């Protein structure tokens, strides 16, 4: 039973993370059956997950800037800074003080990242759909949002494996933010739709940065439990 679970996890990680570099080596026979599966170390897996999160945040910044330049009047650019108050995950606060950081467990960090990822899977699928309705949406923007949407699923798989490796427990699917998507799935006039999509991109960029930050904090704490800080 243990072997079966291990093989399925490895196959999943190999498939989901192939674009970012193999996380494990899986072999097969002539019939396509798995014959061996060599997992990488926990440290290397965490490094790959962090690289994935970094790329997602970088592309989210590029997407937000591209959308802003193409569709958002300059007078509304301040939305980038105050948009956090309109985000569906605004209640998901980042601890600021050193004492707060020291009280946070590795479990909290990993499950927080997973919850943030899961909260954005459906909104990013929605965003792909609504951007396709724009008459002059550039291919670069469409490709970036699709790439992010695909990589969120990969990141979810990677974090799930980390939870199994580091915490020796299963994962759950959070429905905490699901209801918030309803306010996005409404047909609006074009100006309102642009503002809504801009808010969505801005909020995702903020949460992508949270994901990256939490994972880097987790990495730091593997070697320096009390000397880490948010960056």
Per-residue pLDDT of the chain (231 residues; tens, 9 = 90+): 433 333 334 444 454 444 333 344 444 445 444 344 456 788 999 999 999 999 999 999 999 999 999 998 876 666 555 545 567 766 666 666 667 777 888 899 999 999 999 999 999 998 998 998 888 899 999 999 999 999 999 999 999 999 998 887 665 544 444 444 445 555 555 577 888 899 899 999 999 999 999 999 999 888 776 677 665
Nearest to residue 88, comparing CAs of 196, 177, 153, 194?
177
pLDDT of residue 168: 77
Cite the DSSP H helix spans in 105-168.
106-131, 139-167
Q: What pLDDT, on a 0 to 100 scale, did the predictor assign at position 156?
A: 95
Which residues touch 63 (CB under 8 Å, ≥6 apart)? 141, 144, 145, 148, 201, 205
The secondary structure of the chain in percent helix, strand, coil, rounded to multiples of 5, reads: 70, 5, 25
- At residue 103, the pLDDT reads 80
Q: Which helix (DSSP H) or strand (DSSP E) does residue 66 occupy? A: helix 42-71
Report pLDDT for 131.
92
The confidence score (pLDDT) of residue 91 equals 61
- Please check whether residue 159 is in contact with residue 153, taking contact to mean a CB–CB distance below 8 angstroms: no
Q: Give CA torsion, residues 60, 62, 65, 70, to 10 deg.
A: -110
Torsions phi, psi for 39 (to 5 deg) = -80, 150
The rounded distance, in Å, linking the Cα atoms of 115 and 215 is 13
Q: How far apart are CA 104 and CA 113, in angstroms?
A: 13
Instruction: Dig out the tokens for 190 from the structure.
Output: 């074009």
Query: What pLDDT is attached to residue 124?
Result: 93
| Of 124, 180, 200, 197, the residue nearest 155 (C-alpha) | 124
Task: Give the single-character DSSP code of 136.
Answer: T
Radius of gyration over alpha carbons of the chain, in Å? 19
pLDDT at 135: 85
- CA distance linking residue 13 with residue 4, whole number of Å: 14
Cα angle for residues 102, 53, 106 (degrees, 5° grid): 25
pTM: 0.76
As to burial, measured by CB atoms within 10 angstroms (0-12 exposed, 13-18 middle, 19+ buried), residue 40 is middle
Q: Which pLDDT score is estimated for 211?
A: 94
**What pLDDT shows up at residue 73?**
81
């Amino acid at each position: 039973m243990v072997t079966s679970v291990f093989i399925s996890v490895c196959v999943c990680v190999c498939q989901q993370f192939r674009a970012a570099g193999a996380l494990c080596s899986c072999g097969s026979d002539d019939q396509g059956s798995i014959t061996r599966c060599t997992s990488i170390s926990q440290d290397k897996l965490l490094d790959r997950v962090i690289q994935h999160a970094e790329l997602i945040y970088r592309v989210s910044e590029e997407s937000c800037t591209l959308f802003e330049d193409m569709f958002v009047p300059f007078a509304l650019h301040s939305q980038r800074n105050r948009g956090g108050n309109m985000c569906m995950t605004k209640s998901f606060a980042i601890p600021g003080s050193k004492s707060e950081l020291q009280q946070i467990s590795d479990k909290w960090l990993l499950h927080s990242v997973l919850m943030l990822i899961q909260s954005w899977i459906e909104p990013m699928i929605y965003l792909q759909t609504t951007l396709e309705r724009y008459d002059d949406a550039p291919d670069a923007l469409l490709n970036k949002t699709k790439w992010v949407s695909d990589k969120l699923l990969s990141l979810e798989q990677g974090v799930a494996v980390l939870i199994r490796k580091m915490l020796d427990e299963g994962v759950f699917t959070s429905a905490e933010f699901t209801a918030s998507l309803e306010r996005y799935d409404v047909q609006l006039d074009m100006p309102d739709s642009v503002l809504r999509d801009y808010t969505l991109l801005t909020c995702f960029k903020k949460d992508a940065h949270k994901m990256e930050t939490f994972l880097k904090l987790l990495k730091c704490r593997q070697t320096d439990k009390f000397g880490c800080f948010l960056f």
